[in-house]
Amino acid sequence: MRNVFLFIRRNFNFFFFLILQLIALYMLFHFNRFHEAAFMDVASEVTGRINKQYNSIEYYFNLKKTNAGLVEENNRLRNLLRQDFLIPDTSYSTVIDSIKVDSLEQYRRYLYFPAKVINNSVTLQNNYITLSRGTAQGIAKDMAVVSPTGIVGKVVHVSKNMATVMSLLHSKSQVSASLQKSGETGSVEWDGKDPQVITFKNIPKSAQVKKGDTVITSRYSTFPPGQPVGIITDIEEQQSSNFYLLKLKPLTNFFNIQFVYVVKNLQKEEQDALEKITLSEE
């Protein structure tokens, strides 16, 4: 405490000058309208800049919470999509009065589960993605995985709280897809070279194809139909074949995947059982 008093005593004149200067400035800005207006303009600008920087910092630290909220909202909206419901044809007609009676009921076909990506590879020939969801959270083998912008892959292994996904960038990955405009169906594969280029095969040369067209998943795919796959960037006409070899740019950015959606086909077991019985009778 003694040192503080000594410091003030040594610099008394300087502190006294500062106090008088503040008083003078107060009187100048308080009793002079021009100077008061100029001071308020400068103060408002400085305050605005400080608030802007503070808001930027606050927004940065809240990004994690914001992203989590967006994922939950997107998941809720995805589970309300019309194409995720299947409307069976239950119409029938009676012979008595020949009046056709329709009784339609919507059955949910796809259910979406949000999941966080905790590991991902893109530079290997066979790439995998690890998710922080497992059997305890409703995930099972062979479920499709999509991102907000396009398809990602298929679940191949599941533990209690984690799952590994065979990425679209995998040498054994095959996805049934179709041209969004005309509907021709083919197979999407990856040659293990460029992570930003996938191939679309078995599209007949009679199809109307041009660069910039969008390719989506077909109704025969493991994925829900209509999911974005990629954009056509190159068209190769194979001389010895009646089919095109199309190059696509994936719509999913595999270099920056943070959140995905695991898709459960609620009617898969019924479909598989029926098809198994059909094949066993041949």
Task: State yes or no: pLDDT of 130 exceeds 90.
Answer: yes
- Express each pLDDT in 193-202 by its tens digit: 999 999 999 9
Please, which pLDDT band fits residue 216 given cuts at 50, 70 and 90? very high
CATH for 107-267? 2.40.10.340
The rounded mean pLDDT for the chain is 80
DSSP assignment string, 75-110:
HHHHTT-GGGEE-----EE-TTT--EE-----EE-E
Q: Which residues have CB under 8 Å from 102's CB, separation 6+?
A: 90, 91
The pLDDT assigned to 6 comes to 74
The mean-pLDDT minimum among 28-42, 182-196, 228-242, 254-268 falls in 28-42
- Express each pLDDT in 5-22 by its tens digit: 777 777 778 777 788 778
The pLDDT assigned to 235 comes to 93
Please, which pLDDT band fits residue 94 given cuts at 50, 70 and 90? very low
Phi/psi of residue 52, each to 5°?
Answer: -65, -45
Every domain of the chain with CATH number 2.40.10.340 lies at 107-267
Positive or negative, the Cα torsion across 158, 159, 160, 163? negative
Task: State yes or no: pLDDT of 52 exceeds 90.
Answer: no
- Express each pLDDT in 220-233 by its tens digit: 999 999 999 999 99
Q: Which residues have CB under 8 Å from 246's CB, separation 6+?
A: 186, 199, 200, 201, 203, 209, 215, 232, 234, 235, 236
Task: State yes or no: pLDDT of 266 exceeds 90.
Answer: no
The pLDDT assigned to 23 comes to 80
∠ at Cα 138 (134, 141), nearest 5°? 65
C-alpha–C-alpha distance, residues 168 and 156, integer Å: 12
Q: How far is CA 86 from the centre of its chain?
A: 24
- Express each pLDDT in 237-261 by its tens digit: 878 888 999 999 999 999 988 889 9
C-alpha–C-alpha distance, residues 114 and 251, integer Å: 19
C-beta neighbour count of 101 within 10 angstroms: 9
Residue 200: exposure state from Cβ atoms within 10 A (0-12, 13-18, ≥19)? buried
The pLDDT assigned to 180 comes to 93
Closest CA to 250 of 216, 219, 211, 208: 216
Long-range contacts of 206-209 (CB under 8 A, 24+ apart): 207/179, 207/182, 207/244, 208/181, 208/182, 209/179, 209/235, 209/244, 209/246
Residue pointed to by tokens 């829900």: 224
Instruction: Write the single-letter amino acid at 192.
Output: G
Residue 121: exposure state from Cβ atoms within 10 A (0-12, 13-18, ≥19)? middle
Please, which pLDDT band fits residue 100 given cuts at 50, 70 and 90? very low
Residue 153 forms beta bridges with which residues? Answer: 145, 167
Evaluate if pTM is beyond 0.85.
no
Q: What is the mean pLDDT of residues 112-132?
A: 91
Share of the chain above pLDDT 90, in %: 41
DSSP 251: S
Q: What would you report as the CA-atom Rg of the chain, rounded to the nearest whole angstrom? A: 32
- Express each pLDDT in 131-178 by its tens digit: 988 999 899 999 999 998 899 999 999 999 999 999 999 999 999 999
The pLDDT assigned to 14 comes to 79
Which 3 state secondary structure label does DSSP give 276? helix
